[in-house]
């Protein structure tokens, strides 16, 4: 393989890696393309109440997990002097409050936030229950058998059988049937449907869901029938309507047929729910989801905040470098030093643009005057550069003190300038002045400032900062573009003016 083919292979590989990583972050973890995007979050609070009997207390509350359409991102609890433990069991997740002795009315709270997430899927697979046969005394047994046979005759499978059963026990149909009225007097409809399904060898049980409605307070839980065809195929049925499928805006709170609340050492227990739909920035909303990232999710979100703040600035440097490459390779601007403008642009981000420009011109201008005097002392290069560094520090210190004395606190930000880079810039411009004259100094110095300003505008852009911080793949894309630009051997834009006389002559 030729070196040219290897080069194109490397460029293509960088671009593909960068694009793949970026798309993966956006699709898998819903990291937004634009800053300021919003996500909807359901904030739900469960209030547990009961009357303690003056003995040891244990209260167990079933908890919801991430499921289709909703990603659990945060949970918290509040209770007075109770011990708390979470059991993170996918078959029966729960919170357990315990206390050695409690008396009187007790209250405890569990709060959970769910991100509205169309890509979310059930992280649990409910286990198919057994089908115990339930004996009914006469005449209820005969009525139940008659009702079950009627539904079976007009059904084709477990799901249609369930629909027909619920239909027979609901509304006008139920009121017209003597058998239906009799059996409903014996047992509640929810338990009756489960018993009839189990007696027909159809695995079924009661599960509990919460109907989400913004601003609701003290809302109770809603019961549904969960019916299985096999271990991997199950459906939810609405007991009131017989409609198959999970209703919209419904969060399954308990989905394995376990108790919603169990209290030992108390009586008159109940759970009520309050909920609120809030909007939050997409970045904050998906942060907990990103923190559970896998190996393919290259992100700095898992780092401590101090390191994140550091990398937020470092990851902008390739953007500044790209601006320098574009302006030097394609436009032909001259700069004092190859990437000195990027460092100056980084300083501008700390000081603000106008303060940075004024500070840069003051320090470099004063430094050039002092460096001009040092050139008459015939010092060695190392000593001369060291003297310039100390001089730059002195200049920055004097300007900072003077600006503070007159009340210009913005002048204090001049300390953010990289002193070593400024010293080398002064030395380089001084040598250039002696060898090429002041015109070349103005051209390179002006070019450096122009490139630094353009790099600052690009690096300080909110959209660019968002992309570089949240999508590490951008670094590979920038690298690929820089490699392509490094292969450019054509004319630069500013060089075309050399051919202007020829164009005028031909005209």
| Residue 425: exposure state from Cβ atoms within 10 A (0-12, 13-18, ≥19) | buried
Residue 379 CA to residue 343 CA, distance in Å, equals: 28
Our CA angle for 261, 264, 270, nearest 5°, is 35
pLDDT of the chain, 507 residues: tens digit per residue:
677 888 888 888 989 988 888 888 877 777 778 776 778 889 999 999 999 988 999 999 999 988 888 988 888 888 888 999 988 877 788 999 999 998 889 999 999 989 888 878 888 778 888 888 888 888 878 888 888 888 888 888 888 888 888 888 876 554 446 667 777 777 788 888 888 888 888 898 989 999 898 878 888 888 899 999 888 888 889 888 888 888 888 999 988 888 889 999 999 999 999 998 887 766 665 666 555 555 555 566 666 666 677 777 888 888 988 998 888 888 878 877 777 788 888 878 777 788 778 777 888 888 778 777 777 777 777 777 788 778 878 877 777 777 766 655 555 455 556 666 777 777 777 777 777 777 877 888 888 888 889 988 998 888 888 888 878 888 899 999 998 888 877 777 776 666 666 555 555
Residue 130 has a CB neighbour count (10 Å cut-off) of 8
pLDDT at 369: 81
SS3 of 157-188: the string is CHHHHHHHHHHHCCHHHHHHCHHHHHHHHHCC
pLDDT at 61: 93
Residue 356 CA to residue 448 CA, distance in Å, equals: 13
Structure tokens at 9: 């292979």
- Percent helix, percent strand, percent coil in the chain, to nearest 5: 50, 25, 25
pLDDT at 175: 45
R_g (Cα) of the chain, nearest Å: 36
Closest Cα to residue 484, out of 76, 15, 102, 80? 15
Q: How many CA atoms lie within 13 A of 91 on its CB side?
A: 3
377: part of which helix (H) or strand (E)?
Answer: none
In this prediction the pTM is 0.61
First to last CA, the chain: 48
Length of the chain: 507
pLDDT at 36: 67
Question: Is there a contact between 226 and 126 (Cβ–Cβ < 8 Å)?
Answer: yes
Question: Is there a contact between 335 and 496 (Cβ–Cβ < 8 Å)?
Answer: no
Question: Is there a contact between 261 and 61 (Cβ–Cβ < 8 Å)?
Answer: yes
What residue has token string 């080398």?
Answer: 424
Question: Is there a contact between 31 and 272 (Cβ–Cβ < 8 Å)?
Answer: no
Residue 64 CA to residue 207 CA, distance in Å, equals: 12
């Amino acid at each position: 393989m030729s070196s040219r083919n290897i080069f194109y292979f490397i460029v293509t590989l960088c671009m593909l890696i960068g694009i793949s990583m970026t798309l993966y972050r956006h699709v898998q973890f819903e990291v937004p393309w634009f800053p300021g995007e919003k996500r909807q979050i359901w904030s739900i609070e469960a209030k547990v109440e009961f009357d303690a009997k003056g003995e040891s207390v244990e209260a167990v509350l079933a908890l919801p997990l991430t499921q289709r359409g909703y990603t659990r991102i945060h949970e918290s609890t509040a209770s007075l002097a109770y011990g708390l433990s979470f059991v993170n069991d996918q078959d029966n997740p729960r919170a357990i409050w315990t206390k050695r002795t409690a008396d009187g009315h007790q209250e405890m709270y569990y709060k959970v936030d769910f991100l509205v997430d169309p890509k979310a899927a059930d992280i649990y697979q409910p286990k198919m229950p057994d089908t115990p046969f339930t004996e009914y005394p006469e005449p209820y047994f005969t009525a139940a058998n008659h009702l079950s046979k009627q539904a079976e005759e007009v059904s084709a499978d477990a799901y249609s059988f369930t629909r027909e059963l619920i239909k027979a026990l609901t509304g006008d149909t139920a009121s017209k049937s003597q058998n239906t009225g009799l059996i409903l007097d014996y047992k509640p409809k929810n338990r009756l449907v489960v018993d009839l399904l189990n007696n027909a060898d159809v695995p079924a049980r009661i599960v509990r869901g919460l109907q989400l409605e913004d601003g609701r307070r003290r809302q109770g839980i809603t019961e549904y029938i969960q019916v299985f065809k096999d271990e991997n195929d199950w459906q939810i049925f609405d007991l009131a309507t017989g409609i198959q499928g999970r209703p919209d805006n419904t969060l399954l709170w308990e989905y394995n047929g376990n108790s919603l609340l169990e209290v030992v050492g108390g009586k008159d227990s109940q759970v009520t729910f309050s909920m609120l739909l809030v909007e939050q920035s997409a970045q904050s909303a998906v942060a907990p989801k990103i923190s559970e990232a896998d190996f393919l999710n290259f992100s700095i979100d898992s780092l401590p905040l101090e390191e994140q703040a550091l990398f937020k600035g470092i990851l902008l440097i390739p953007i500044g470098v790209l601006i320098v490459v574009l302006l030097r390779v394609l436009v032909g601007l001259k700069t004092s030093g190859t990437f000195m403008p990027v460092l100056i642009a980084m300083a501008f981000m700390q000081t603000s643009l106008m303060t940075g420009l004024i500070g840069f011109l003051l320090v470099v201008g004063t430094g050039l005057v002092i460096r001009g005097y040092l050139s008459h002392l015939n010092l060695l290069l190392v000593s001369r550069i060291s003297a310039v560094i100390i001089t730059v520090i002195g200049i920055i210190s004097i300007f900072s003190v003077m600006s503070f004395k007159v009340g210009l606190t913005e002048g204090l930000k001049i300390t953010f300038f990289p002193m070593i880079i400024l010293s080398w810039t002064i030395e380089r411009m001084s040598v250039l002045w002696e060898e090429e004259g002041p015109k070349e100094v103005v051209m390179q110095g002006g070019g450096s400032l122009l490139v630094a300003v353009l790099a600052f505008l690009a690096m300080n852009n909110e959209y660019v900062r968002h992309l570089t911080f949240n999508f590490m793949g951008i670094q590979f894309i920038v690298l690929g573009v820089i490699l392509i630009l490094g292969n450019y051997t054509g004319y630069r834009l500013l060089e075309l003016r050399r051919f202007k006389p020829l164009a005028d002559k031909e005209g």
